[in-house]
Amino acid sequence: MPFDTAQIARLGGTWGAMGSLVASDGSANHPYLQNLADHLEPLRDLADAAHFICVLHGRHPGVVDHALDHARVSLERDWLEAAADAFATERAYLVRIVAAAGPLPSTPGHAESEAAAHAQRHALDMLAQSDRAGCAAGAALALAIDWATIREVLDAVATRLGLAIPVSTLPLAEETVSVVDALAREASMERAMLFGAQQVFAQHRGLWDLLEARTSARNRA
């Protein structure tokens, strides 16, 4: 799977600031996500995670699709086209998991949780539609990078539900790094790209915090 810990370490010197951002802010660092991916949480918590991931990323057009409409250079556009095709498969997989998982588990404060998730979705959409050169691409790149970790959670749910797990066709890590390197050659583009990426990682961390809080609320009920 792309962008595992070993690959991040190996590629860190190549892609500079983005590599540091992935290592510090990426979803792989969140303890609750790690518990989900390691099958340490009950099925209801895994299903809850799948439902909320679907709120953020289960709708078309998504982050990558929006970013494709704002591509400025051919390398960026080629990568986004490949990523958009791959995410069509990922969305179908996500929707299949949510359908199999059934209704959301009863959780105190659900209306507030749902509103927070929709606000996160709106924030992601705005980033991916930014006219600032590099921002939308940075958001899409961050999503693809973080999706490797998110996919571990989805695969954990699919395994529990007995569903087939499709092979991810997202661009290889090396291809993604080449796009990052190309965009980073222009200082203003690099700053915008890193801003877009940082904001996506922040929204994802907010999602894991929200899911962890929902688990705590169910355990106290």
Whether pTM > 0.85 for this model: the answer is yes
Quote the pLDDT of residue 10. 53
CA dihedral 195, 199, 205, 210 (to 10 degrees): 160
Taking 80 as the threshold, does the pLDDT of residue 173 lie above it? Answer: yes
Nearest Cα to 219, choosing from 40, 98, 36, 42? 42
Concatenated DSSP letters for 76-115? Answer: HHHHHHHHHHHHHHHHHHHHHHHHHH-SPPP-TTHHHHHH
pLDDT tens per residue, range 82-139: 999 999 999 999 999 999 999 999 999 999 999 999 999 999 999 999 999 999 999 9
pLDDT tens per residue, range 13-44: 446 788 888 889 999 989 999 999 998 899 99
Quote the pLDDT of residue 73. 82
CA dihedral 182, 188, 189, 192 (to 10 degrees): 140
Mean pLDDT of 6-10: 51
**What value does the mean pLDDT of the chain take?**
91
Share of the chain above pLDDT 70, in %: 93
Quote the pLDDT of residue 39. 87
Q: How confident is the model at residue 7 (pLDDT cuts 50, 70, 90)?
A: low
Q: How far apart are CA 113 and CA 115, in angstroms?
A: 5
Q: How far apart are CA 101 and CA 96, in angstroms?
A: 9
Quote the pLDDT of residue 186. 86
Quote the pLDDT of residue 111. 96
pLDDT tens per residue, range 191-221: 999 999 999 999 999 999 999 999 999 999 7
Of 4 and 91, the one with more pLDDT = 91
Q: How confident is the model at residue 158 (pLDDT cuts 50, 70, 90)?
A: very high
| ∠ CA 189-191-195, rounded to 5° | 115
Share of the chain above pLDDT 90, in %: 74
Of 182 and 35, the one with more pLDDT = 35
